[in-house]
Amino acid sequence: MKSILRISLTALMATATIATTEAAKIVKPTPRPVIETYANWQELRIAKGWPEVNAAVKLPLPKRLLIATAALTAPDRKVRDPNYGFALLLAGPTSRDATRLLAKGILMNDYVFGDRTPAVLRSLAAEAMRGCKSCVAAYGLIQYTGLDVPQNDVVAYKWYRWAAVVGNAKGIEATSLALAEGRGTLKNISEAKKWAARLEPARRAKLYTEIAKRIVLSKTPEDMAVSSELLLQSIALNPLDAGRPAKQLLNLDYPPSVQDEAMAAIRAEGRAADPNALKVMAQVLWKRDKPEAVNEAISIFQTLAERGNADAIDYLSRALARSDVDKSRKDLIIASLQTAAASGYASASKVLGDAYYYGTGVTASLDTAQTYRESAAKQNDPEAQYLLGMMMLQSTDKPQDDATGRQWLEKSAAGGYPLARAALQKLSSN
């Protein structure tokens, strides 16, 4: 009996220990990752304590590689500095890692090497023979663009195809584009699509859009048909980034049936659809100028306006002035603009200020107009500041507003609004 009791107590203590350990794991806070953001390369370099390029090229190779990686491959393009990064890679001594980073930098940046191009090509070719996929693609890119070397589509295609065969995504894209255009090889769109199919869906969608954009220039019925097919496939592959294919499909001379199919695909995504695709679709519907099309366009613009889209807010302003838009629809437009204004979007407040000032789509109210214009003005909108200032100066009910009105004009003029400057000059001359 004692032994059983001892075993039970031991098991209980072990269970308690495990529970305590698990509880400790649960309550232990997880540190949030620190995300560093910089306005440009200079700001990043100084923050990291890295020297200027003349001193950096003299650093040991591992340090040069670290800094060059940041200069050439930072996700934010405005933070990169190819001049700095390539200078570090081309300063001897070098290494295989340096050549591979060189290739990656060439694929990610627009750059010319001048009289160093032959040496760069030799380094890329040597490392390509050792199996570096990006080196193969980079060599092909230099031949394709003809930067500091004679432009050679045939050589470029051979290198791109080699890169594609070994699985380099850039090489696959370039091979597919060359086949679609017949550049450096015979035109073969079917083969181009086979290569594109090797890419993951989002990247394939972008490639389909680019191919469609290039082959449609021929204006032949065959290429127009393939182009429209590719754009529709692009939307289907990546509906959350359908803005570019939608813009091309809906703004060029594709058959109405194809455009309707594109719109149906965008509609199917509902509120989750790509905002850029929705905006393009709404603009096309607006131009059709048919009641049902305009109403659908307004509905889309309302959705986008509530998210702060400035173009959509501008279209809603125009809709308020249309005589063929009924009162109930205008009430909904005002409600959407009020939602956007309440969320802090100055452009919506400004449109509402104009609507209530002129009585466009609503019953005119100078007090309400002033409230909305003041809201936009306080968000440093120079036009709203001008309109508010002039409104106060022109008021006959509140003479004390003159000083405040002038202050708003001064703020608007300081923000670069020309009408405010002209109004202040006129006031000063009186």
Please report, for the chain, the start and end positions of each structural domain, with discontinuous segments joined by +.
200-261
Angle at 286 between CA 333 and CA 266, to 5 degrees: 90
**Tokens matching residue 188:** 């073969």
Nearest to 211 by CA among 173, 240, 255, 241: 173
Name 7's Cβ contacts closer than 8 Å, sequence gap at least 6. Answer: none
Phi, psi of 401 (to 5 degrees): -75, -10
Mean pLDDT of all residues in 295-303: 95
User: Do residues 358 and 396 make contact, with C-beta atoms less than 8 angstroms apart?
Assistant: no
Q: Flag whether pLDDT at 2 surpasses 70.
A: no
Q: Which residue has the higher pLDDT, 23 or 189?
A: 189
* pLDDT band at residue 14 using 50, 70 and 90 as cut-offs: very low
Break the chain down into helix, strand, coil percent, rounded to 5. Answer: 75, 0, 25
* pLDDT band at residue 138 using 50, 70 and 90 as cut-offs: very high
Name 4's Cβ contacts closer than 8 Å, sequence gap at least 6. Answer: none
Mean pLDDT of all residues in 54-64: 94
If you average pLDDT over every residue of the chain, what do you get? 89
Q: What is the DSSP letter of 36?
A: P
User: What is the tens place of the pLDDT at every residue in 371-401?
Assistant: 999 999 999 999 999 999 999 988 766 666 7
